[in-house]
């Protein structure tokens, strides 16, 4: 069965390593027969949540920025994929802002059930992405029908394009997408 996959790349850098993982996942998902939409937050107008909770009554955020187009796509996706660089052992600020601004989804009839996490970092120890994973798991906890379905962490990369030197990580992301 074909799924509607939304990949959200949260790195501010063009050619980033987390985006390379996201593109590998997308290629695998497309090869697996799924419909894939790829959104990069780079260059998007994405403001902080104001905590007004108006969205809990109306289903829509009062802030007029690029999230007006992103949230409905998140709601209609069967699969959400978040790709982020790890900064100071945590998800990027862009990803955290994206999660916070997804608050209208809390009262929505969201379709996503599977959530995937792709991350890159300069450090390569296994514990490096754990705080970011924990943050995403906290967000997922608010959506009882959804679960964290898979993770790919590519450590040991700093400069843009270095993920190509880790083909096993790119292959892992590709396979995760292909096997949806």
Query: Which pLDDT score is estimated for 46?
Result: 97
Q: What is the pLDDT of residues 55-72, one digit of tens each?
A: 999 999 999 999 999 999
Contact 115, 140 (CB under 8 A): yes
pLDDT band, very low/low/confident/very high, at 47 (cuts 50, 70, 90): very high
Q: What is the pLDDT of residues 94-130, one digit of tens each?
A: 999 999 999 999 999 999 999 999 999 999 999 999 9
Segment 9-34 mean pLDDT: 97
Domains of the chain: 4-178 (3.40.50.360)
- Of 26, 15, 12, nearest to 116 by C-alpha is 26
Query: Which pLDDT score is estimated for 173?
Result: 98
């Amino acid at each position: 069965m074909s799924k509607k996959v939304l990949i959200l790349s949260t790195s501010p850098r063009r050619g980033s390593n987390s985006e390379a993982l996201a593109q590998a996942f997308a290629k695998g998902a497309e090869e697996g027969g799924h419909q894939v939409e790829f959104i990069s937050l780079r260059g998007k107008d994405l403001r902080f949540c104001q905590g007004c909770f108006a969205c809990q009554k109306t289903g829509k955020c009062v802030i007029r920025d690029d999230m007006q187009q992103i949230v409905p796509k998140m709601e209609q996706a069967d699969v959400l994929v978040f790709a982020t660089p790890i900064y100071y052992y945590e998800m990027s600020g862009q990803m955290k802002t994206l999660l916070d601004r997804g608050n209208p989804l809390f009262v929505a009839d969201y379709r996503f059930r599977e959530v995937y996490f792709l991350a890159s970092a300069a450090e390569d120890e296994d514990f490096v992405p754990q705080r970011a994973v924990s943050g995403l798991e906290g967000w997922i906890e608010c959506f009882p029908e959804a679960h964290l379905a898979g993770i790919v962490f590519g450590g040991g990369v700093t400069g843009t394009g270095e993920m190509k030197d880790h083909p096993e990580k790119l292959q892992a992301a590709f396979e995760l997408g292909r096997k949806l």
